[in-house]
Structure 1
């Protein structure tokens, strides 16, 4: 059965919310833990970044900052960035590649990637709220280049499992979460059938146009009604439609928020914030950790 037939045979899963977020320079915040993160948790934060030659430099100006209780996932829809970590290796992240960082009990980061020599860099950074058994564990950092990322049809399987294809990050990622990077050609129809229990569903469109039950334009994030029914989509514009899509088992825990941390309880938040304060002191003692390429590896 073709993608076109699948999409035409399905009832359309409705969109219940949509946003274009609010921008600051090359970064637009589509969702945060204090707003839509409560609706689609465990997905709690989403930025789309879109920098041209004049603003790419701002991508390197973000200061080092801490996290605990979450995982961050960074993917690229255009351009590329370099990573360089003596403990992991060096390479390039472009479309289909991903930076995965499970902050767990605490990390400091923000300068581990440097821009490539390109006219435009675009992509998404997502935060995922970790469950109690992972939120204060030892941190994990991984860089997966595009050639090593799992694929299923038009989708790169960034997290989870889709159509029998499992993400290479499955060993360190929470269960019950799928996160896909998808490109549809003009006029292409595609239907995403979520795994059992995945009632949370949303997408954010970087380029092009999509049609679900209503049109979706580039720069929008939309949230689908809570259900386990498929999400049927069509690339409705003259060019490719490039987007990220998330589905998950609903996160059953409240969100306890720190400035850079999200935890499931006040006690877990206090432990995380204590740990990142301790790491901050050790980071100062460590001195200059900058690599020859200008990156500063994640401190964990």
Structure 2
């Protein structure tokens, strides 16, 4: 659905999608559709599981990635990490799991769902630039207390309003988790060069020049004009917001990989195949709490 409006903001929304729903997961963006428009942001899932199904999220199979980074944030609930190099802790609202797959990793069980009635959040993929796509993998787990805030936003990735996220993401990318109370208004001024911008709403309703409702993703027109958000609803509006300098490379896609060239994709897929063989030979790697650290 294509929409044009300048009622509230100088940066109009040009596209709104409700994605494709598969059970508790709504795929709002993939590298073959909107990811081509808002790259380096190339994939976005909104997951929402409640009741007896919550423990099933911990049953996700191990799977590989290369050439990209994954970013996981929660809106509701909590997940526990237990990682030899990072210690133990809990990711909840405002916290983040950052995983730069780079040259290749296998993961999927490095965090376990806590005993909560509902788990809801976003998983984002970022396409890495050529100099990082086959680099050494790295992961980081930050509890909410370690993620800086600016106004109503937690700065998950990037620099904004004199605040810098500790996540070691590439320059030129901002990713924020925002909650606006009923009646609250907030203006986001993208940094210089951030002509890509989008939002995805997990809860409530939001006016950003065009109304956006829970479960939708909206893409803004290219440019660097400010974006004004207003919550005109009766409950908190909770959303993620991304802005970035455009990714300057074509997307070369594998089943779990995103690279800048066919040659880089071949290197990445060869590496994750090798890692898969060594992972099988490694046997049971579970920690005492039941997590399985990222294999790299």
Q: CA deviation at 1:285?
A: 1.1
Q: Is the 8 A contact 1:26 1:55 kept in 2?
A: no
Query: Are 2:139 and 1:141 equivalent residues in the alignment?
Result: yes
Q: Tell me, in whole angstroms, the C-alpha distance in 1 between the residues paired with 2:66 and 2:230.
A: 38
Give runs of aligned pairs for residues 136-285 of structure 1, distance below 5 A: 136-169=134-167, 172-285=168-281
Q: Tell me, in whole angstroms, the C-alpha distance in 1 between the residues paired with 2:186 and 2:248.
A: 30
Aligned counterpart in structure 1 of residue 108 of structure 2, from 92, 107, 110: 110
Q: Tell me, in whole angstroms, the C-alpha distance in 1 between the residues paired with 2:264 and 2:138.
A: 18
Q: Tell me, in whole angstroms, the C-alpha distance in 2 between the residues paired with 1:64 and 1:155.
A: 32
Q: Is the 8 A contact 2:102 2:135 kept in 1?
A: yes
For residues 79-108 of structure 1, what are the alpha-carbon distances to aligned partners after superposition, in whole Å with 9 as ceiling and x for unaligned?
101011122211100000000000000000
Moved more, 14-23 or 243-252: 14-23
SS in 2 for 1:54: helix
Q: Is the 8 A contact 1:112 1:297 kept in 2?
A: yes
SS in 1 for 2:52: coil
TM, length-normalised to structure 1:
0.95
The 1:10–1:24 alpha-carbon spacing in structure 2 relative to 1, beyond 3 Å, is closer
Number of aligned residue pairs: give it: 291
Q: Is the 8 A contact 1:149 1:168 kept in 2?
A: yes
CA RMSD of aligned residues (A): 1.3
Q: Tell me, in whole angstroms, the C-alpha distance in 1 between the residues paired with 2:115 and 2:51.
A: 9
SS in 2 for 1:267: helix
Moved more, 12-21 or 141-150: 12-21
SS in 2 for 1:182: strand
Q: Is the 8 A contact 1:191 1:230 kept in 2?
A: yes
Q: Tell me, in whole angstroms, the C-alpha distance in 1 between the residues paired with 2:194 and 2:256.
A: 27
Q: Tell me, in whole angstroms, the C-alpha distance in 1 between the residues paired with 2:258 and 2:234.
A: 40
Runs of 4+ off more than 2 Å: 9-12
Query: Are 2:35 and 1:37 equivalent residues in the alignment?
Result: yes
Aligned counterpart in structure 1 of residue 124 of structure 2, from 123, 126, 133: 126
Moved more, 50-59 or 134-143: 50-59
SS in 1 for 2:279: helix
Q: Tell me, in whole angstroms, the C-alpha distance in 2 between the residues paired with 1:20 and 1:297.
A: 33
> 1:49 aligns to what?
47
Q: Is the 8 A contact 1:76 1:122 kept in 2?
A: yes
SS in 2 for 1:271: helix
Q: Is the 8 A contact 2:8 2:208 kept in 1?
A: no
SS in 2 for 1:55: helix
SS in 2 for 1:219: coil
Query: Are 2:34 and 1:64 equivalent residues in the alignment?
Result: no
Q: Is the 8 A contact 1:99 1:143 kept in 2?
A: yes
Q: Tell me, in whole angstroms, the C-alpha distance in 2 between the residues paired with 1:36 and 1:137.
A: 26
TM, length-normalised to structure 2:
0.96
For residues 3-59 of structure 1, what are the alpha-carbon distances to aligned partners after superposition, in whole Å with 9 as ceiling and x for unaligned?
xxxxxx974321111111112221111100011100100000000110101221221
Q: Is the 8 A contact 2:200 2:239 kept in 1?
A: yes
Q: Tell me, in whole angstroms, the C-alpha distance in 2 between the residues paired with 1:112 and 1:131.
A: 25
Q: Tell me, in whole angstroms, the C-alpha distance in 2 between the residues paired with 1:299 and 1:90.
A: 17
Gap regions ≥5 residues in structure 2: 1-6
SS in 2 for 1:282: helix
SS in 2 for 1:205: strand
Q: Is the 8 A contact 1:10 1:230 kept in 2?
A: no
Moved more, 283-292 or 135-144: 283-292
